[in-house]
Structure formats: structure tokens, C-alpha cells
Amino acid sequence: MHDSGSPQNGHSADLPVDEITCQQFVELVTEYFEGALQARTLSQVEEHLVLCDWCVTYLEQMQATIGALGELREEPSPEPPDSVLAALRERSVGGA
């Protein structure tokens, strides 16, 4: 799957600066969604997604998680309590 940028000697510190790893990618996902990545990092992320189906899967899982959270949204709000409405009505009676 990956045919470019493999480190010559196995040390991550020597990765070509243009590439990010999957382990780095998963830490950047939130910033990616938020639109908070610097231009350079953004292009590295996008390049990585072109190359790595697994990280695309991870991204989709994250999107699905966020979507599922949206489904937890609660039911409609109750009525305001009478006491609070009474206090509010005091205001219009009292005038301003």
C-alpha cells in the first residue's frame, strides 16, 4: 500500500518531512475537522488520506461517532415553571 517515504533506517525522526504517519494522523483528525490545520500540515494530511485507506476508514469512524453523538440529543424542552413565568410577568406589569 505504501511505496514512498519509508524511512531508510527505521527511525521515525528521519521520516521525510513531507509525510505524516498514521499515528500522527489520528492526532490531527480533530484539527482537520475544525479547519484549524496550517496549510502545510493540511496538505500532508490530505496526501496521507490519498495513500492510506485505513486512515480514511478511521476518519469515517470519527465522522460516524460525531454523527451518533448528534443522535443523542434530548427530547423537546419542558414548559418554563409557573414561578418563573410569574416573575417575568411582574416585569411587564411593573413597566420599564
Partner 1 sequence: MQPESAVAPARVAFSDEHTLAALRAGDERAFRDLFARSYPMMKRVARTYVASDAVAEEIVQETWMAIVTGLDRFEGRSALGTWIFSILTNQAKTHSARERRAVPFSCVAPGDGEEPAVDPDRFQTDDDAWPGHWATPPRPWQKPDRRLLSLETRDRLKAALAQLPERQRVIVGLRDVEGHSAEEVCGLLGLSQENQRVLLHRGRSRLRAVLEEYLDVADV
Write out the residues near partner 1 by the rule CB under 8 A. 2, 6-7, 10-12, 15, 21-24, 26-27, 29-37, 42, 52, 54-55, 57-58, 60-74, 76-78, 80-81, 83-85, 87-93, 96
- Which stretches of 20-65 are assigned E, i.e. beta strand? none
Cβ neighbours of residue 23 closer than 8 Å, sequence gap 6 or more: none
Gap between the Cα atoms of 73 and 81, Å rounded: 22
- Residue closer to partner 1 by CB (options 50, 65) is 65
Residue number, 17 or 73, with CB nearest to partner 1: 73
In angstroms, what is the minimal distance from the CB of 19 to partner 1? 9
Shortest distance, CB of residue 17 to partner 1, whole angstroms?
A: 14
Asked whether 9 and 42 are in contact (CB, 8 A), the reply is no
Matching residue, cell 443523542? 72
